[in-house]
Structure 1
Amino acid sequence: MAMPQPSVTERQPSILSGQPGKKPRQFRSGSLRWALLGPALAIIGLTIIYPLIISFISSFRQWRLIDSPDPGPFVGAANYTRALSDAGFINSLGVSAVYIFLSVSLTLILGLGIALILQKPTPLNVLTRTFLIFPFAVAPVLKGFSWRFMLNPEYGVYAKMIGAVIPPLKGYVWLGHEFSALLVIAFSEIWGWAPLFALMFIGAIGSIPAEATEAARVDGATNFQIFRKITLPLLAPVIYIVALLKIISAFKMFDQIAIMTGGGPGDSTQTLYYYVYQVAFRNLDMGYASALSYILVVIMAIISTFYVRTLLKGD
């Protein structure tokens, strides 16, 4: 008499349980989870949380490295109130505001202009879109060196081209004058961010219903009227989000300033981020620099809150 053959399920051992004929067990042990997360949490704690705590405590202490390698006595909120009467800090806020306005507004305008030019999916436009991401991928340090070299009045390519088109600007020292130096630094960032924003706007324009623009054309609307009445209002949520993203990035501008101008001429390109660096690593006033850092953190947190809330609302 033939014996019944075991089923496939009975013959194959369970991979997770290690025993034949049993269903896989789910990991329920909390200790195993913490063991897997432990190394990552330890690294985060040592490299992020611990320095944040130490710097926050230092912001309430008097600590100048030229006087002592160890933190000095507690001074309460004196480092924070000192910022209100610090001419360098107030100047850095003004420079940051001007830089952010130039950088954000020009990036949005140029990015939207590029998107409108390349929105039609022609073969040439599609090929051009593939190259738009490359400027954003360039390292900020390389941007600074490149723009400083190309704007050199003696042998810079950009300086020669501008001088040929506008003769009064021939030999003009772009990084030697207050407003032009800040404008050049802004353009070094716009050069990388505008193509990225163009790609975002192209995607947003592609999601606009074609029926809306076709109906407007039937009613006799011009291209400018379609852009002002239909395209721009529908792009407003995207513009708002990318503007907040660019503002956050602009607050952290450091590399190009350090390489191209060093905060000069004078203090005309000394943004808040760069001023904190000078106070900490040139003046060696670690207590005051820590307080300035947390003022910057508060400003960034407020802007980031608007950004996150906008994303979560889906506006």
Structure 2
Amino acid sequence: MAKAKSTGFFCRECGYESSKWMGQCPACKAWNTMVEAPSAPASSGTAAGRYAAAASLTAAPGKRVGSQAKPVSLDEIELSDTDRTRTGFAELDRVLGSGVVRGSLVLVGGDPGIGKSTLLLQVCRNLAGQEQKVLYVSGEESLKQIKLRASRIGTVRGPLSFLSETNLDTIAEVIREVRPDVVVIDSIQTMFIEAAGSAPGSVSQVRECTGVLMQLAKGLGVTVFIVGHVTKEGVVAGPRMLEHMVDTVLYFEGDRHASYRILRGVKNRFGSTNEIGVFEMREEGLAEVPNPSEFMLEGRPAEASGAVTACSMEGTRPILLEVQA
């Protein structure tokens, strides 16, 4: 009897799986995107399944009858002001659409060192100050390194806890036990599930880990922020299907050697993608820039020839620019 093949070929763009290599992905038609990786064993499919079952059993009452799912009508679904939470950054709230939605999965991408971890750590501090229970999970830094970075952004008060772990099985157990309101995963490329059988950051690991986090977010009503590094082409590392699985995709842009950063929404199921947020990197962390026009026109000489002031609209906010010729 032939032994089952333990590896397969996955498309980096859409996650399509094939038993053999192909030059063009038949699903997304992209060229040279098939990479070889260990195939998930038959039992690994239950990894996300058992988390989904455990999460769904703790979901809101009235949606399940025993082990059977029960459909509901729109009249039975209740909305409240608590479904959106202010992050303490007006610029971030504008990009998210007036706040973060409870139970959503938010992907924050950007170049290494651009300030993703600093921004989310400050968001955690603000949410903990509102008595939100927050869990910050880091797979790239130790607890001492996190404390050194946290001491730079000021005093942290409230129910904010930290965990240095890369095994998502262990992280899922902690989430179900602690029941936080907000979870930050820094970063998705360092997380792994033992049943997947491949290295952290691979196509199959990123896909499986994101699937588990999505089930936990929807089942337990936990807001999950995922940090994702970008490749040299400027897209989030891993399969493109990662962006399809999450609810919101934010890109943190800017020159790491300059002080100003732009937060741009690429995908948002709960709001517009036209808005941008502007931040300035300072010694004490990121600070909001409520008036970008002042920065754009800074140092402009009066009555200079060959220069004119123009207005550009970014979402609902006009920004003044200087155009030189």
Query: Into which bin does the TM-score normalised by the smaller protein fall?
Result: under 0.3
Report which structure shows greater RCO (CA 8 Å, sep ≥6): 1
**TM-score normalised by L of structure 2:** 0.21
Larger Rg: 1
Structure with higher helix content? 1
